[in-house]
Amino acid sequence: MADADPKFPGFSRDTIDDAIVNPEVVANEAEIHALYAKLRAEDPVHWTQPTGFRPFWSVTSHADISTVSKANSRFVNRFRTYLSPIEAEDWIKSTTGDTHLFRTLVDLDDPEHMKLRKLTHEWFLPPNLRKMEAKIAEIAKDHVDRMAAMGGECDFVNEVALWYPLRVIMHLLGVPREDEPRMLRMTQEIFGAGDPDVVARSQHLNQTPLGSEQQVDLMALAQEFFAYFGAITADRRANPKDDVATVIANGMIDGEPINDLQAMSYYVIIATAGHDTTSSTASGGLLQLIRNPDQMAKLTADPSLLPLAVDEMIRWVTPVKHFMRTATEDCELGGKQIKAGDALALFYWSGNRDEAVFDEPDKFKVDRKPNPHIAFGHGVHLCLGLHLARLEIKALFAELLPRLESIELAGEPKNSRANFVSGLKTLPVRYRLR
């Protein structure tokens, strides 16, 4: 293990460069936020060379993250999307001939990105989503009923929050209910592959043993995704329905039907991006309400605050911890000379605690206004599902809070150990529900 960086005393576990990619550090909120705060104050665009990773610039201020996110032709997505060890990046390249296992919206640049995004853009806008409101409220009620039936104690993550957005997304994609455990396992393995507890949970759900080689598992996982959604594409071409799977399967790009790889990649991004993100936010939001009884009381007394509270939960949790970009030309950022070809990691969680933008950033306030958080990114890749995510989280708390007579922790909450998409992996609670 490397020595502590003398510039950042207090990070004795690793150098700051190793710490910022270390899932153990990301899982320790106090530690990672102290590290981000130091970087924002002392070196907001920091050249980072962690052991086992290709180097990159760590971008930690709200302003710089926004600038990079909006300059989509100067900072592109197609080369490196998220932080991955050199070994894993090289393996993917040697196996697929490409830098990515999937080519989803977040791994593409315009013009191809925009052509694909346009297919579903309108479907995810509020006027169309309004059609889904009643169904989402029904799914939220089902999950709170399930919680009530559990007799006053549950693990909110594993028994409620993981299943609720999954049901919504699977409903959108037209996946039958009996296949939900399989979908849960696949999304968990993609995002939580580095965390033995998350992998154990996914194995338990499907009884499918993972090999010792995580990289081999990812390839098998890709094949499994493709086989599953290939059948859905064929079905929606033959029998169109009123769901987003039908929009994708029958999409046209430049006057030609969407090809199978493009359609599959679309399902993959929706199935994965729309799941863990929303469930982590719901669990993390509930934990903050439990830890801040004054905020819980304020919200319960005035439900019109719910939309603000939802955005505060999203800011607080920031389930997508970073995305990456690659510079296409030499330029300056935060006083640093960025060279064409340099990679940049945009640490959204840091931007969302930036004291230059947020009043008392380390306080959870259900009535925070304004709340210009960047948890959904910015620019042409701005989260496609942001309205859906807000709708889902709002529906869950709109059902839960009026029925909740009391709630407290029944054990220690634990975060998943992942540095890309992460959040609580267990939240034991004791409660009385009407």
**Segment holding 180, helix H or strand E:** helix 180-192
Nearest to 285 by CA among 413, 113, 417: 413
CB nearer ligand HEM, residue 258 or residue 375: 375
Give the distance from CA 403 to its chain's centroid: 28
Q: Which of 251, 274, 284, 428 binds ligand HEM (CB under 6 A)?
A: 274
CB nearer ligand HEM, residue 117 or residue 394: 117
In the shown chain, the binding pattern of residues 175 to 204 toward ligand HEM, with x for contact by CB under 6 A and - for none, equals ------------------------------
- 379 near ligand HEM, judged by CB under 6 A: yes
Distance CA 345, CA 48 (A): 10
- 377 near ligand HEM, judged by CB under 6 A: yes
CA dihedral 217, 223, 228, 232 (to 10 degrees): 150
How many binding residues for ligand HEM (CB under 6 A)? 28
CB nearer ligand HEM, residue 50 or residue 423: 423
**Segment holding 430, helix H or strand E:** strand 428-433
In the shown chain, the binding pattern of residues 296 to 335 toward ligand HEM, with x for contact by CB under 6 A and - for none, equals ------------------x----xx--x------------
- 218 near ligand HEM, judged by CB under 6 A: no
Do the beta carbons of residue 10 and residue 24 sit within 8 Å?
Answer: no
Nearest to 291 by CA among 386, 396, 363: 363
Which DSSP category does 108 fall into? -
- 251 near ligand HEM, judged by CB under 6 A: no
- 161 near ligand HEM, judged by CB under 6 A: no
- 277 near ligand HEM, judged by CB under 6 A: yes
Do the beta carbons of residue 375 and residue 320 sit within 8 Å?
Answer: yes
- 269 near ligand HEM, judged by CB under 6 A: yes
Q: What tokens were used for 143?
A: 């999950």
Nearest to 321 by CA among 83, 50, 52: 83
- 278 near ligand HEM, judged by CB under 6 A: yes
- 270 near ligand HEM, judged by CB under 6 A: yes
CB nearer ligand HEM, residue 14 or residue 354: 354
Q: Looking at 146-154, 185-193, 333-341, 379-387, which segment touches ligand HEM (CB under 6 A)?
A: 379-387
User: CB-based contacts of 264: which residues, under 8 Å, 6+ apart?
Assistant: 102, 225, 226, 229, 230, 233
In the shown chain, the binding pattern of residues 95 to 134 toward ligand HEM, with x for contact by CB under 6 A and - for none, equals ----------xx----------x-----------------
Which DSSP category does 210 fall into? P
Query: Cβ atoms within 10 A of the Cβ of 298, count?
Result: 16
Q: Which of 15, 58, 69, 352 binds ligand HEM (CB under 6 A)?
A: 69
Helix, strand, coil % in the chain, rounded to nearest 5: 55, 10, 35
Positions that interact with ligand HEM (CB under 6 A): 69, 105-106, 117, 269-270, 273-274, 277-278, 281, 314, 319-320, 323, 348, 375-379, 381-385, 388-389
